[in-house]
Structure formats: structure tokens, C-alpha cells
Structure 1
Amino acid sequence: MINLTWRSGRDLWTRIVERPGAHLPDTETRKLVDDLRAIASLTLNDSELEYGVLGGDAERLKNCVITIVYQAETKNGPRRPIAFNVLSLLDVELSSRPTTVMHLGLVMVDPTVRGRGLSATLYGLTCVLMFLTGQGRPLWISNVTQVPAVAGMVAETFSDVFPSPRPDARRSFDHLSLARQIMARHRAAFGVGTEAGFDETRFVITDAYTGGSDALKKTFAQAAPHRKQKYNDFCQQQLDYERGDDLIQIGRIDMAAAGQYLRKVAPPTTAIGLTGLVLLLGARMTFLPLIHWLSPNRAWGVLRPAKQKP
């Protein structure tokens, strides 16, 4: 299980905790939730979220990964929470096998520190760590948003993302199967009520802000734009912002996505970037096939199917 804290900037510290409700003492878990709520109070302007981890859902705390960025007020002084991401772990089935979808979940950043590139840590780094601790097996991810900046980030960071305006985006049966299961069983993870509709052709959730996430509803003008206009146009065309629609995006993190993330965050000209890329390439060429071969009791998708019970 991941439980890491490290210095991530001149005055920044980052902590990532996997399934805190199952592995941390109650007092430490409550402190994490208090830190999340402190950030949310700065972002929502007195509004409150009523679902998931922020609402005190004990079960969600056992099935999530929390990333919090802290800012040190002085060199040796206290750290204050300034940004977080809560990534939910959703149990689903694919090809008659149980699997897990990592839902990118709720991200909030203190308005006073926006523009410092924290999204790369909050979104990508946590997913890369989960991918590596899973021995490099491709992992499905999901994302629910109406914000063009977020929809574009997901489409450009992960592999096989649908929906997206990219010309290679396509809806496979796996995409559809996962989206159907998430909408049927896991709406509470992203605050969508039972009355919300789901357009299976476009992967659009209609009237999405009725299950505790009301405070997150935005107009198109309020939603942060992406630097590439095609994502802004795509969201405006697909979503009814007055009604409160969301995209549900399904994709994967695999070796290609992890390598792309490292190249974007740590360019190959730097020592960190070169080290990361060498490790990823080494894993791709040597270590991953060896791990796959020496794990006869685990299913590895197309590399080796699950053993059939007698």
C-alpha cells in the first residue's frame, strides 16, 4: 500500500495515501479529511459537498487514494493544505474477470496558489504510482467532468480515452461495459443522483448535479478552458451547461501513458527525466515480461488469460 510523503518543491510537500480508511489510525484519517475540507472551504465559497470522502463516507475512505499538497509557511513551521485529489477505486468486471477502475475523482486547489503546475502532481503522479505498484499492468481510469481543461488533460495524458475530439478516439465494447457498470453501481463516487440520465452514444451524463455535487455545477463561462480550442468547442457542443451535463471519460494508464507523463513533467534533457525514461524502457523490455512469466497464478489480459476453475 502507498503511504508516501516527500518534498515536491521549494516550499511544497506532497503526501499520497492509498486506502487510508483501511490502513491508518482513525485519528490520522480524520486529520486527512479535515485537511481536505479546509481546502474545499477555500474553493467553494461557503458551499459544502455532501458526498464521498468530504461527506465522511467511511466506505469511500477504504476505497480511495488521497493526494494532498502542503505548503510550508516557514522553513520549520507548520504546513497548510493547499490542494488535493481523491482518486476512487471502483470494483467492476471486464471479460468476466473482476477488475478495478481508478476514478480520477475530485480535485481542488487553493485559489491563491493556482498556476503553479500542481495538476501534474495531483492527477498524473498518483496514477503512475498506482500503475507501477500494480506491476505495470494497464489500468482503466474514469473521469467525470464538464470542465474543458480537465477533459483535455485526461484525453492527452491517458491512452484510449473516449469521448474525446481526438481523431483516434473510439468507443470500444470495453469502454461501454465499464461506463454502464460505473453508472449502475458507482454514481455515489462522483455525486450523481439516480435520476440523472446517461447517453451511451456520446458518454454524456445528463442533469448530473443532483446527488450531492450541486456546488460544483458551472456555466461554460465559469469552467476553466483548455489551451487547445478543440476541447473547449467539444465540451460546448456536447454538454448542456444550463441543465448540468457531464462527460464520463474512460481510458487507460499503460506504459505509453506513464512515459508520456514523465516526459511532460520532467523533460528528457534533465537527469530526472532521463532516469525515469530509462527505468520505464528497462521495465518494458526486461522486467515486465519477467514479472508476467513468474506470476503463473495471475491473469495478464491478452498475455495470459485467467485460469478456468475445474
Structure 2
Amino acid sequence: GGTPPAPERVGPKHSHLESIVYDWPDLLRVLALSVLVAAMGIWLAYQMPLGAIRPVVLVLAWLAAVAALARFHCDSGGIVWRRGDLYARRWALRGGRAEGVAAVLRPVLAWVACEESQGELHPMLRDPAVLAKNRIVLIVFDGGEAGVERGGTRTRDLPCAIHVPFRAGYYKEVVLHLGLSTALPTHRGRGIGSAIAINTALAFLTYITTSLAIADLSTSATGLHLSCDLAHDAYPNFRFCNRGPSGWHVDVAKFLFAKHRADMGISRSAILDEQTFVVRGSKEDGGGWDPVGDIAWAGPPPRRCLDFLRRHLHARDELLRVFRVRVGELVGRAILDSSARARTAYVVVV
């Protein structure tokens, strides 16, 4: 449970992590499936009586084949983000091979978490079997610094940030809890937040869905600001705080609190306020592992957002946020953000 001894720094030798980037038999199966999907799409396109439909079917077939390959790359340790010397690898832990991969990743995740927090390990990092249960692991590396060796795992480059969301066992829809995220103090402010955003967005591909219910437990004003401004039907919402939660908000919150308390790192004595979604006493008894969520650290969010948190949270409380994100809304927002003409047309039409 406590802070582990400092690991040995190593030079640019062979990395154990790189040896589990791809599972080659799985890659061959995915390639064969992609070729089969593309071939069937081509055959089906040329059986169409209407020539106008043929290009559409061909495009859909190739998109399905490319999506299968992209999903495998993004879920098996492939590089999903790069900025300068920084790059991120991503693993989706599920299936029979997950525990073996988790055993290799866990020492690196634990080292980054303890280097940052100088305290207790998050419960999910104490046992590979727990880490392997429906988690997505993102590790950001700094290619300009030498790696570390810990617990039999060697990295070529320095691991400097981690993000470990998990899928809840909720049966009505896909619920993704944003889980644990942290960065070394020396690497904050270097745009790593965009890697975490990409990791979350790739969950649509991992779980093959167009809609995600997302939950997060923290005291981060930045997270509250983003969920209220960018997501659909967010609660709590500092802009519309008098509305109250919807039925689905309460269902998801109660399910997480009942079934995933340990996964979220909540104290055994914590209590969920079902009206405000404040988790009272979350950080009692060693719970509430959230080293970067302090209100004072949060930076640029509006004053109303900071005032909302100060008004609702006490010293050992955290806020559970629940909101929905849909692919169509993300694409639409990206178009509006990148095109002045699109924004003008939106204002005129809507």
C-alpha cells in the first residue's frame, strides 16, 4: 500500500512493454476478418442492381475493414497520440490475455501514481486481476528521457502520465467511469490532457457504440467545466444547478456507488447525496485517491464553476459527475469549432 522504493533508471534497451504491443495470432485473425469483410462488401456491391448504390456499399465495406484494424491497434498497445517527444500507448484489457498484460503494466502504472502522489496506491493498482477487469490503460511516455525498470517490467522511455478508465457492469447502456488519471509534476502543462481526451473518445471504437454514459468522481473544476459545456445532459451542472438529476442520472450513480465503490477508490464510510451527487466523506479511511483534483489546482474554469464546488464540497468530499456523449454531437461540435461558415450557418438555421 505505501510508496514503493525508487526504481532503477535504465537506458534505451529493449522494452518489455513493447513486447506486448501486439499479440500476433490475434493480429492475423483481425487481418483475415478485415480482408473477408472487404471481399464480401465488394462482391455484394457488384451484385447490386442499381449502380448508384455500388459506391456506397464499397465505401462501407472498406470502412468496416479499416475500423477493425484501427480497433485492434488502439486496444493492443498501439501509439494513439504524439506531441513532440511525448507519445501515448493504449491497451483495452479484456478477454483471456488481459491479466497477463495487466501484470506487465501494473508496476509502471504504480510507479507513476506513487511518484506523483507520494502516498497510497489506488486499489485497482494493487492486484493484476483487479486491473484486468474491463479497464482501458493509457500510458504517456517521454521519448526524451530514459525509462525505468520496476517489478520485472522495463520501459525504453520515461512513463510520465497515466489514465485508467473502466467500464461499469451496468446492463442498460455502456457506462465508462473516467477512473484514475495523473501526471508527473514535471510534465504537467504539456498538453497531456489531449491524450486523455483521445483515450476517452476511442472508447466508442473499443465498445462499438455511438453513445456513452460517462461518470467521474473528483474535485476537479476543469472536469466539471468541460462536462457541463461539452457533454449532453450533464449532472451536476453549475450552469443549471436548480434542475435536479434525471432518473437515469440517479440509476447510474446508485449503481456505481453500490457495485464499483472499490474501483472508484471511495471510502467505506462514504455516503452519496442523491440530490447533489456529492459523495460525503469520500476521502476518509484512505479513500478518494485524487492527487490532481484539488480545487486550487484547477486553473482556468469560470469563477461560477469554482464557486459551485466551494459551496457544495467540504474537506473530504468529492463530486460524482454523470453525463452522456454521442458521436454525432462530437463530430458536429468539431465542425463548428473548425469552420466559421459552419458556425454562421448554424446560427442562421437554428
Q: Same fold (TM over 0.5)?
A: yes
Q: Distance in 1 between matches of 2:278 and 2:107?
A: 33
Equivalent pair of 2:164/2:181 in contact (CA under 8 Å): yes
Equivalent pair of 1:159/1:253 in contact (CA under 8 Å): yes
Q: Is residue 2:170 matched to residue 1:100?
A: no
Partner of 1:30: 103
- 3-state SS of 1:132 partner: helix
222-231 or 5-14, which deviates more: 222-231
Residues 177 and 245 (structure 1), Cα distance of their counterparts in 2 relative to 1, 3 Å cut: same
Residue type at the aligned position of 1:63: N
Equivalent pair of 1:150/1:226 in contact (CA under 8 Å): no
Partner of 2:212: 139
Instruction: From the two aligned structures, give the one with the greater helix fraction.
Output: 2
The TM-score normalised by the length of structure 2 is 0.65
Q: Is residue 2:89 matched to residue 1:15?
A: yes
The TM-score normalised by the length of structure 1 is 0.73
Equivalent pair of 2:182/2:292 in contact (CA under 8 Å): no
Q: Percent same amino acid at aligned positions?
A: 23
Q: Distance in 2 between matches of 1:127 and 1:224?
A: 20
Residue type at the aligned position of 1:82: C
Residues 3 and 260 (structure 1), Cα distance of their counterparts in 2 relative to 1, 3 Å cut: farther
Alignment of 1:207-286 (within 5 A): 207-210=281-284, 212-213=286-287, 216=290, 222-241=296-315, 244-259=316-331, 262=334, 268=338
Residues 160 and 10 (structure 1), Cα distance of their counterparts in 2 relative to 1, 3 Å cut: same
Residue type at the aligned position of 1:198: L
Residues 226 and 60 (structure 1), Cα distance of their counterparts in 2 relative to 1, 3 Å cut: same
Equivalent pair of 1:152/1:226 in contact (CA under 8 Å): no
Q: Is residue 2:277 matched to residue 1:203?
A: yes
Equivalent pair of 2:225/2:305 in contact (CA under 8 Å): yes
Return 5+ residue gaps in structure 1 as ranges.
275-310
Of 144, 158, 168, which aligns to 1:90? 168
Q: Distance in 2 between matches of 1:246 and 1:135?
A: 31
Residue type at the aligned position of 1:161: A
Residues 75 and 43 (structure 1), Cα distance of their counterparts in 2 relative to 1, 3 Å cut: closer
Q: CA RMSD in A?
A: 3.0
Residue type at the aligned position of 2:216: N
Shift of 1:20: 5.7
Residue type at the aligned position of 2:276: R
Residue type at the aligned position of 1:259: V
Equivalent pair of 1:4/1:15 in contact (CA under 8 Å): yes
Equivalent pair of 1:69/1:84 in contact (CA under 8 Å): yes
Partner of 2:59: none
Q: Distance in 2 between matches of 1:255 and 1:150?
A: 19
Residues 25 and 105 (structure 1), Cα distance of their counterparts in 2 relative to 1, 3 Å cut: closer
Of 138, 157, 178, which aligns to 1:67? 138
Residue type at the aligned position of 2:137: I
Deviations 1:214-246 (A, max 9, x none): 5547896644244322211111111112xx111
Deviations 1:28-65 (A, max 9, x none): 433311111121122113x122411x222513422110
Partner of 2:117: 44
- 3-state SS of 1:91 partner: coil
Q: Distance in 1 between matches of 2:269 and 2:145?
A: 48
Q: Distance in 1 between matches of 2:87 and 2:292?
A: 30
Alignment of 1:114-193 (within 5 A): 114-122=188-196, 124-167=197-240, 171-193=245-267
Partner of 1:55: 126
Deviations 1:141-197 (A, max 9, x none): 100011212222333332211001123965211111111111111111111133211
Return 5+ residue gaps in structure 2 as ranges.
1-71, 148-154, 343-350
Equivalent pair of 1:69/1:83 in contact (CA under 8 Å): yes
Residue type at the aligned position of 1:29: A
Partner of 1:302: none
Partner of 2:60: none
Equivalent pair of 2:250/2:274 in contact (CA under 8 Å): yes
Q: Aligned residues, how many?
A: 258
Q: Distance in 2 between matches of 1:221 and 1:75?
A: 33
Deviations 1:116-145 (A, max 9, x none): 1111211x2122111134444211110001
Greater C-alpha radius of gyration: 2
